[in-house]
Amino acid sequence: MDFKKLIAPQPLPFDYDEWQQKPFNERVLMLCRAWAIQGYGAPVAVYSFYILKIAFYIGVWFYFCSFSESLGSYHTFKSWWFQSDALCKAVLWSMLFESIGMGCGSGPLTARYFPPFGAVFHFLRPGTIKMPLFPAVFKSDKRTILDVILYIAFIFFLVKALISTTITPIVLLPIIIVLPIAALFDKTIFLSARGEHYYIALICFLFPLDAIPATKIVWLAIWFWAATSKLNRHFPSVIGVMISNSAILQIPWLRKKMYINFPDDLRASKLSKFLAHFGTIIEYAFPLMLVFGNGGQITVIALVIMFFFHLYITSSIPMAVPLEWNFIMVYGAFVLFGNYATVSIFSLHSLVLMLVLFIAVFLLPLLGNLFPKWVSFLVSMRYYAGNWAYSVWLFKKGTEEKLDDHIVKSTNTVMKQLQFFYDEKTANSLISKVIAFRAMHLHGRILQQVIPKMVDNIDDYIWRDGELVAGVVLGWNFGDGHLHDEQLLRAIQKRCNYESGELRCLFVEAQPVFNTCLHWRMVDAKDGMLQEGNACVKDLEALQPWCC
């Protein structure tokens, strides 16, 4: 088998050399049209990588379950997989899996090519950049030996819990204590551990009598907030981008139907809007059915709907690839609402746990939706609704190399990673597709209004999405624009000392609930804030992904 053919991405539907000679706006328009019919164009080997990773994730979970007295091996799977201890081990393993960088944000679909996952290499290396939760208090952005020790302790206690014969509060408590301490010095670790989900679930397991109803509330909160976050003008464009990139629905006519009139009008079609609204209704409906199903026919129907809902997301292999997370959401639903269907969410006893849940699954998500600039979109449970903070970084040609020359990292810049596998044309084609991904979302329409104001000649710069910068410089990324905002820019500038005009960044904040606008900031690495403004979301709907 020819390895080069196996890893070759789908070629662009136009001549690369001719495309390079066209004006920037037209190049982006052509990329958007290419995305509409072929998505990212990932090679078959990429999907094989993710399938194998899921198999590894499930297999190792079986292995850790075999340590428990109440569980067993895969030979006796049917007798124990519905037990709460098995779910707790799944949560622990998922947290470990994510914390070392193998889960969300790994592999080529998050522009992580070589190595395909980072986190653990970055978090174990003194001198790398970190992101303190409160930078005004914890001023250092350089990882120290103490940071490394805290991360090692966190991983150690996770492994210790996973190989324990019995899951008790004493086994879980060190994890509960160490993770938030580590997060004070580097919030990236908490986010990479998917703390908004797994950390809160582990707190629930600290209270054995309340573990099941409390964990049910966590699952329900994720579904309800995710559905609520889709009640916006952004989500229909997400449907189009997602289906155009689907690994399963590779049907040209269906992909074109996601847009009003391909290739001339790439705004969300009526079909995209219908699918967006229908999906939101489904995401509200089955959790409500699970709450009141009580194990009867309604519960069965709700679990079937839930299964196919998450199967659709997983089979699409969306960008950022939260595949294992979708697996545990499905598995957890069968355990919590299937096996323990008769346990009511209203049967909580502990006032302390009630307070924790109120803060974690109600107050923080509420604040995150009202004031998104203060709360991560993960903690806000605003998953892939098309409304999240993002950034675009414009490096003057020849200056991106400063990231490799002056910053301690666990990997090279994305272009160098790609050139390990591909020639320069192919590598540049893949990176350029990320521009289309951003522009095709509704919030990406801001780019055509602001980018021309940022630099005199865009062709003098290379365009890097903030996700790619964070993935390289922070060792982890998963759609959180707050990881590549001014805080990261200051850390990079401290090390690279860019001159005026060498690095310009656009930071766009998510749309708050009850606000009709998106706030954007144009910042120079040396000179600071250049300009800021607001863009009305309704006005963005009238624009194409990029003006031509």
pLDDT digits 0-9 by tens, 205-216:
999 999 999 999
Give the pLDDT confidence score for residue 1 in this predicted structure.
Answer: 52
The pLDDT confidence band at residue 423, using thresholds 50, 70 and 90, is confident
Scored b (16 or more CB within 10 A) or e, 339-370 reads bbbebebeebeeeebeebbeebbeebbeebbe
> What mean pLDDT do residues 363-376 have?
96
Distance CA 89, CA 411 (A): 31
Alpha carbon dihedral 16, 20, 24, 26, in 10-degree steps, equals -50
φ/ψ of 298, rounded to 5, equals -60, -40
pLDDT category at 400 given cuts 50, 70, 90 is very high
The H-or-E segment that residue 391 falls in is strand 390-396
Q: Which two tokens stand for residue 425?
A: 């044309």
- Is residue 521's pLDDT more than 90? yes
More confident residue, 383 or 346: 346
Token code pair at residue 195: 């703390």
What share of the chain has pLDDT > 70, as a percent? 99
Instruction: Give the pLDDT of residue 45.
Output: 80
Instruction: Check whether the bond before 263 is cis (ω within 30° of 0).
Output: yes
Q: What is the mean pLDDT of residues 320-328?
A: 89
What is the DSSP track for 443-489?
GGGHHHHHHHHH-S-GGGEEEEEHHHHHHHHTS--SS-GGGGSHHHH
pLDDT for 109 beyond 80: yes
Of 52, 84, 49, which is closest to residue 70 (Cα–Cα)?
84
Q: How confident is the model at residue 548 (pLDDT cuts 50, 70, 90)?
A: low
More confident residue, 347 or 113: 347
pLDDT of residue 227: 96
DSSP states along 197-264: IIIHHHHHHTSTTTHHHHHHHHHHHHHHHHHHHTSSSSHHHHHHHHHHT-SS---HHHHHHTEEETTT
With b for 16 or more beta-carbon neighbours within 10 A and e for fewer, the 191-224 pattern comes to bbbbbbbbbbbbbbbbbeebbbbbbbbbbbbbbb
Q: Which of 259, 518, 203 is nearest to 389 (CA)?
A: 518
* Alpha-carbon torsion, ordered 411, 413, 417, 420, to 10 deg: -110
Q: What is the pLDDT of residue 113?
A: 86
- Which of 111 and 67 is assigned the larger pLDDT? 67
Comparing C-alpha atoms, which of 399, 499, 393 is closest to residue 451? 393
pLDDT tens track for 298-316: 999 999 999 999 998 888 7
Cα torsion through 415, 130, 117, 383, rounded to 10 = -100
Cα–Cα distance list, 263 to 33, 226, 256, 432, 471 (Å): 6, 31, 8, 19, 32
pLDDT tens for 265-287 read 999 999 999 999 999 999 999 99
Interatomic CA distance for residues 387 and 233, integer angstroms: 9
Strands 265-268 and 259-261: antiparallel
For 438-489, the pLDDT digits (tens) are 999 999 999 999 999 999 999 999 999 999 999 999 999 998 999 999 999 9
* Predicted local confidence at residue 48, as pLDDT: 85
β-bridge mates for residue 520, sequence order = 508, 533
Residue 496 has pLDDT above 70, yes or no: yes
Can you give the pLDDT at residue 2? Answer: 58
pLDDT at 72: 79
pLDDT at 289: 96
CA distance 199 to 182: 13
What average pLDDT does the structure give for the chain?
Answer: 93
Widest Cα–Cα separation across the chain: 68
- For the chain, report the end-to-end CA distance as a whole number of angstroms: 42
Q: State how far the Cα of 219 lies from the Cα of 225, in Å rounded to an integer.
A: 10
The confidence band for 320, taking pLDDT boundaries of 50, 70 and 90, is confident
